[in-house]
Each structure stands twice: as C-alpha cells, then as structure tokens.
Amino acid sequence: MTNNPRADVGKVSSTRMYTGRVISLDVDEVRFPDGSIGSLEMIRHPGASAIVPLIGAPDDPDPELVLIRQYRYAAEQYLYEIPAGRLDPGETPADCASRELLEETGYTAERVIPLFTMFTTPGFTDEKIHLFLATGLTAGQHQREADEFLELVPTKLSRALSMIEQGEIQDAKTALALLYTAGFKLG
C-alpha cells in the first residue's frame, strides 16, 4: 500500500474558521483517493514535544522515572502524564522537550534522546508530538505556567507499565512513550 495512491489526492482549498491561542480550525475541501471531493474540519496545531525523564541509570533494568499527575479540564480529572508542551515559534522539538522538562519538573537533562514522532489524532488534527528520553537528570526549580496544576510522581518503570495495563495511565502520548522506552530503548 502506498502513502499517496494518487498524485492529485489532498487539499483543494481551505477556509480558516477560527484562530485561537493554541489551535486554529480550518474547513478544507479535500480530494480523496477515489477522486471524490469532500469537506473536512481540521484542527491546526503547531506541534508539541514530550519527554520521559529517567531518574535512574538508563542501564537499570527497572529505572525510576518522573510522571506528573496533572489536572486536565477536557478529561474532567487528573491524569498521569510525562512532561509535555507545545512548540514555540522557531523552537526545535528537542529544545521544547528540555524546556518542558524544566518548567514542569525542575529537572534538566544531560542527554535528550529522540524516540519517535507521532500523530495524536490524524482524523481531525495535524498535531504531531515529538517524543524524547531524558537521562542524567539534575534537580532544580520548576517554572510552571499559571494554568499548570500538577504534582511529581516518581515511579519505577515496571509500576508505570502496570498503570498502563490497569487503565490508570489514560494519556496516549504517555502510554506510548513508556511502552516504547521499555520495549526498544531499555529492552
């Protein structure tokens, strides 16, 4: 299967319906692979980075990492997550991950290792999240934004994996980053 079966597949036109602080909403006219044209509502997002902060040594078979427990209005509850945030204009994904690590946890990392990039919900948004692993952490003072209500939750990787299995970790980027870290980077 090819990623783009027809050369003429894609956006025909776009109309901006809303521009906000974080997202914009466009209504795009799109040519589909069968040649038909339809309208899709698309949320445009500048992208984000997220980072798995390892407190322990990367060669530890069950390293300790830092989760955050953060209130999320859209979910109407606190969620366990890894530090993450949106890219600032002109900022690299690695710089964003390092900035979010410091802002949310107070830690700085000796090494920031790329894991992979994922689409969050490609059915209606172009948002991509760049995932990283942080090692060689040094504790410092967090610099949280006014709307960030969170606590740090140091957790063994094995416990975090159990939290995914038991449905305690419901945030997709966090679950995927932890599973990737366990299976590919530390496995």
Fill in the DSSP letter of residue 160.
H
2 occurs within a structural domain: no
Residues 64 and 152 sit within 8 Å (Cβ to Cβ): no
Domain span at residue 37 reads 10-44
Pairing of strands 64-72, 150-156: antiparallel
4 occurs within a structural domain: no
Question: What single letter denotes the amino acid at residue 6?
Answer: R
Q: Do both 74 and 40 map to the same domain?
A: no
- The catalytic residue among 64, 91, 103, 148 is 148
Q: Do both 38 and 54 map to the same domain?
A: no
1 occurs within a structural domain: no
Rounded Cα distance between 125 and 144, Å, is 26
> What's the pLDDT at 105?
96
- The span from the first CA to the last CA of the chain, in angstroms, equals 30
Residues 135 and 65 sit within 8 Å (Cβ to Cβ): no
Query: What is the three-class DSSP state of 33?
Result: coil
Q: Dig out the tokens for 79 from the structure.
A: 């969620």
Q: Do both 16 and 64 map to the same domain?
A: no
- The pLDDT profile of the chain, 187 residues, written as one tens digit per residue, is 455 556 689 999 999 999 999 999 999 999 999 999 999 999 999 999 999 999 978 788 899 999 999 999 999 999 999 999 999 999 999 999 999 999 999 999 999 999 999 999 999 999 999 999 999 999 988 887 777 788 999 999 999 999 999 999 999 999 999 999 998 876 5
125 occurs within a structural domain: yes
Rounded Cα distance between 120 and 126, Å, is 8
Q: Dig out the tokens for 126 from the structure.
A: 């172009």
Active site residue 145: no
> What's the pLDDT at 3?
57
108 occurs within a structural domain: yes
Residue with tokens 């390892």: 54
Q: Do both 16 and 78 map to the same domain?
A: no
Q: Do both 70 and 34 map to the same domain?
A: no
pTM value?
0.90
Domain of 80: which CATH number? 3.90.79.10
Q: Do both 35 and 54 map to the same domain?
A: no
39 occurs within a structural domain: yes
Rounded Cα distance between 187 and 178, Å, is 12
How many structural domains are present in the chain?
Answer: 2
Q: Do both 61 and 133 map to the same domain?
A: yes
Phi-psi category of residue 22: left, alpha or beta, with phi > 0 → left and psi -120 to 50 → alpha: alpha
